[in-house]
Amino acid sequence: MIKDNQVHLNRAHVIVDGLIIAGSYIVSYFIIKNPSIGQYSQEEYFKYLIYVVPAFLFLYYMMQLYTSRRALKLWDEFIDIFEANVLGVLGLYVLLFWISKEHYSRKLTVIFFAINVASTTIAHGLLRKFLQFIRKKGYNIKHILLVGYSRAAEGYISRILDNPQWGYVIAGVLDDFVPIGTSYHGIEVIGNTDKLASYLENNQFDEITITLPLNDYDRLEEFVAQCEKSGVHTKFIPDYSSLFPSNPYTEDVQGIPVINIRYVPLTNSFNRLAKRMVDIIGSLIGIILCSPVMFVVAFLIKSTDNGPILFKQERVGLNGKTFNMYKFRSMRVQTESEEKKGWTTKDDPRVTTIGKFIRKTSIDELPQLFNILIGQMSIVGPRPERPQFVEKFKEEIPRYMVKHQVRPGLTGWAQINGYRGDTSIRKRIEYDLYYIENWSMMFDFKIIIGTIRYGIVNKNAY
Residue 250's DSSP bridge partners are 259
- Separation of alpha carbons 414 and 382, rounded Å: 8
Total Cβ atoms within 10 A of residue 366: 20
- Separation of alpha carbons 127 and 70, rounded Å: 11
Q: What is the reported pLDDT for 371?
A: 96
Q: What is the reported pLDDT for 2?
A: 47
For residue 412, give every residue at least 6 positions away whose Cβ sits within 8 Å of its Cβ, in sequence order, or none. 380, 381, 382, 383, 431, 432, 435, 447
Q: What is the reported pLDDT for 355?
A: 81
- Separation of alpha carbons 50 and 414, rounded Å: 44
Residue among 108, 83, 167 nearest 133 (CA): 167
Domain segments of the chain: what residues? 2-136, 142-243, 267-455
pLDDT per position as a tens digit, 305-314: 778 889 899 9
Q: What is the reported pLDDT for 344?
A: 61
CB distance 25 to 52 below 8 Å = yes
- Separation of alpha carbons 439 and 193, rounded Å: 39
Q: What is the reported pLDDT for 400?
A: 86
Residue 209's DSSP bridge partners are 146, 235
Total Cβ atoms within 10 A of residue 374: 10
- The secondary structure of the chain in percent helix, strand, coil, rounded to multiples of 5, reads 55, 15, 30
- Separation of alpha carbons 381 and 135, rounded Å: 37
Residue among 157, 160, 188 nearest 175 (CA): 188
Strand 249-253 to 256-260 pairing? antiparallel
CB distance 420 to 382 below 8 Å = no
Q: What is the reported pLDDT for 256?
A: 79
Q: Is 167 exposed, middle or buried (0-12, 13-18, 19+ CB in 10 A)?
A: buried
CB distance 317 to 378 below 8 Å = no
Residue numbers in the chain where pLDDT is lower than 50: 1-4, 35-36, 462
CB distance 88 to 59 below 8 Å = yes
Q: What is the reported pLDDT for 228?
A: 81
CATH topology of domain 142-243: Rossmann fold (3.40.50)
Question: How far is residue 158 from each of residues 178, 272, 294, measured CA to CA in Å?
Answer: 18, 36, 45
CA gyration radius, the chain: 27
Phi and psi angles of residue 186, each rounded to the nearest 5 degrees, phi first? 90, -10
- Separation of alpha carbons 283 and 287, rounded Å: 6
CA 417 to chain centroid:
10
